[in-house]
């Protein structure tokens, strides 16, 4: 326990992974921690992530792992290295939640959901004396520098020795992350990048056939290329367009291209494990009198969705020549005409610029106030990278708070 931190009051605003991790670190070092959250309960987006199995992190080597954070990689790298995937796995298992590595290299709790982990975590926080106050909507600071909260019982103000903000981005606002903090911090002189959707679906002007018959069906085992980047995985057809892991992996450059040019063209390889010549040879073996859809189904096991995607991209009259048809299968162009709104995105890009915080993630414009999680200007694809960085920045900001308290400084 750090004597300088013992019983020092610290406010953590935001009860997601970054905020709760920060609260645990601070409480373990003797701080008197109160977590404030605007929702009736904490960890709501964390629980939503658990619906897909709760992909905590990824098992790949740390060098390629760190490259997943794009433009923010240089600033995030030392924070993730200080709390790497192995540490996150050990933390989960320390709460009684065993983990396993899936076939894709992703790491999941064996329970394949978030609720057991969250219950164990909240139990640990209670043991540490962390107080959680829900239905406390942060409004900023009053004239004396106290934190202002709107509550069901009226407005209240508190003056902790340090504050850690972990309010999330602006995706899935019904779960608590509304991005309402942007105006507060901008008014305080904090440098911000505009919030933008990340890991979101994209709009395609589907024909009525695709929109009505195939929405909700997956394109499995495809390769999607945009620019020089090729991603293997799955994409889901929706009434609006496309979403899914392979699309999310390309969401940042696709979003930027649409922002610059109004649209973006990607290419789908429906049979990435076979060369065009191999596909053509199989197609040539089919009787010429068969319908094209039957030839595709019998020769290449193509689904009705895949056949209609081919027609969507290349026209209703697909080439009958096996070589030309094989080339069409290997390169299916689709024009994306927009991105789904930020409220429907999995995560958020933009936020507090790294130039606005010091190495401890403290705001230069507001000494004694630290920032963690999705509020910071970074983004990453799905696959465990999002939660890993949220936990790691929560850990880093908490350690920054402790270093400041050790100097005897209060905000």
Same domain, 290 and 395: no
Last residue in a domain, options 339, 362, 390: 339
Are 136 and 182 contained in the same domain? yes
% of the chain at pLDDT higher than 90: 92
- Residue 56 maps to a domain: yes
* CA gap 136, 118 in Å, rounded: 20
In the chain, how many domains are there?
2
Please indicate, yes or no, whether the overall pTM of this predicted structure exceeds 0.75: yes
Alpha-carbon distance values, 218 to 106, 279, 331, 347, 361 (Å): 20, 21, 18, 22, 41
The 10s digit of each residue's pLDDT in 178-213 is 999 999 999 999 999 999 999 999 999 999 999 999
Q: Is the pLDDT of residue 128 over 80?
A: yes
Lowest-confidence pick of 76-85, 122-131, 151-160, 312-321? 312-321
Residue 191 lies in a domain: yes
Helix (H) or strand (E) holding 230: strand 229-237
**What pLDDT score was predicted for residue 50?**
84
The fraction of the chain above a pLDDT of 70, given in percent, is 98
Shared domain for 232 and 105, answered yes or no, is no
In a domain, 1, yes or no: no
**pLDDT tens column, 360-375:** 999 999 999 999 999 9
Same domain, 263 and 166: no
Q: Which of 322, 339, 356 is the last residue of a domain?
A: 339
Give the relative orientation of helices 276-284 and 322-330 as an angle to the nearest 10 degrees. Answer: 140
Task: Determine, yes or no, domain membership for 66.
Answer: yes
**Same domain for 192 and 218?**
no
For residues 141 and 259, membership in a common domain is answered with no
Same domain, 79 and 151: yes
For residues 280-289, average pLDDT: 92
Is 388 a member of any domain? yes
Q: Same domain for 96 and 245?
A: no
Average pLDDT over the chain, rounded to an integer = 95
257 shares a domain with 355? no
pLDDT value at position 88?
98
- Residue 1 above 70 pLDDT? no
322 part of a folded domain: yes
Q: Give pLDDT, residue 189.
A: 97
Which of 299, 303, 304 lies closest to 281, judged by CA?
299
- The rounded distance, in Å, linking the Cα atoms of 350 and 192 is 7
pLDDT at 194: 96
CATH code at position 119? 3.50.50.60
Is the same domain home to 183 and 239? no
Domain presence at residue 2: no
Q: Where does a domain end: 317, 339, 361?
A: 339
Q: Which domain holds residue 328?
A: 202-339
pLDDT value, residue 4: 61
* pLDDT digit string, tens, across residues 16-61: 999 999 999 999 999 999 999 999 999 999 999 888 789 999 999 9
The Cα–Cα gap between 392 and 400 comes to 12
Structure tokens at 314: 């290349």
Which band of pLDDT confidence, cut at 50, 70 and 90, is reported for residue 289? Answer: confident
pLDDT recorded at residue 7: 82
Kindly state whether residues 193 and 258 are assigned to the same domain.
no
* 247 and 396 within one domain: no
When mean pLDDT is compared over 62-71, 220-229, 286-295, the highest value belongs to: 220-229
CB 368 within 8 A of CB 410: yes
Helical spans, DSSP H, in 11-97: 17-28, 44-49, 62-66, 73-82, 85-94
Does the residue 411 lie in any domain?
Answer: no
The pLDDT, as a whole number, for residue 45 is: 93
């Amino acid at each position: 326990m750090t004597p300088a931190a013992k019983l020092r009051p610290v406010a953590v605003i935001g009860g997601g992974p970054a905020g709760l991790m920060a609260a645990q670190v601070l409480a373990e070092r003797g701080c008197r921690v109160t977590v404030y959250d605007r929702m009736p309960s904490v960890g709501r987006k964390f629980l939503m992530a658990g619906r897909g199995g709760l992909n905590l992190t990824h098992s790949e080597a740390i060098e390629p792992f760190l490259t997943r954070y794009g433009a923010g990689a240089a600033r995030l790298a030392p924070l993730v290295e200080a709390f790497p995937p192995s540490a996150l796995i050990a933390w989960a298992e320390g709460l009684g939640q065993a983990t396993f590595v899936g076939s894709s290299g992703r790491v999941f709790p064996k329970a394949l959901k978030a609720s057991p982990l969250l219950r164990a975590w909240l139990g640990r926080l209670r043991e540490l004396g962390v107080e959680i106050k829900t239905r406390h909507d942060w409004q900023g600071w009053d004239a004396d520098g106290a934190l202002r909260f709107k509550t069901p019982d009226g407005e209240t103000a508190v003056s902790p020795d340090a504050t850690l903000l972990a309010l999330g981005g602006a995706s899935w606002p019904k779960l608590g992350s509304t991005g309402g903090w942007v105006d507060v911090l901008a008014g305080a002189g904090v440098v911000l990048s505009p919030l933008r959707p990340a890991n979101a679906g994209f709009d395609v002007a589907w024909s009525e056939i695709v929109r009505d018959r195939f929405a909700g069906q997956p394109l499995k085992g495809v390769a999607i290329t945009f620019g020089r980047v090729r991603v293997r995985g799955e994409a889901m057809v929706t009434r609006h367009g496309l979403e899914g892991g392979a699309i999310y992996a390309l969401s940042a450059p696709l979003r930027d291209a649409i922002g610059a040019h109004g649209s973006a063209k990607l290419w789908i390889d429906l049979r990435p494990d076979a060369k065009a010549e191999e596909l053509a040879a199989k197609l040539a073996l089919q009787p010429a009198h068969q319908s094209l859809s039957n030839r595709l189904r019998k020769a290449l096991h193509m689904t009705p969705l895949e056949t209609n995607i081919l027609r969507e991209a290349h026209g209703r009259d697909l080439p009958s020549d096996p070589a030309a048809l094989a080339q069409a299968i290997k390169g299916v162009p689709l024009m994306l005409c927009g991105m789904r709104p930020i409220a429907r995105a999995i995560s958020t890009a933009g936020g507090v610029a790294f130039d606005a915080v010091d190495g401890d993630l403290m705001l230069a414009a507001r000494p004694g106030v630290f920032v963690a999680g999705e509020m910071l200007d970074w983004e990453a694809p799905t696959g465990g990278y999002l939660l890993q960085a949220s936990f790691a920045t929560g850990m880093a900001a908490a350690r920054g708070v402790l270093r400041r308290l050790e100097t005897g400084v209060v905000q």
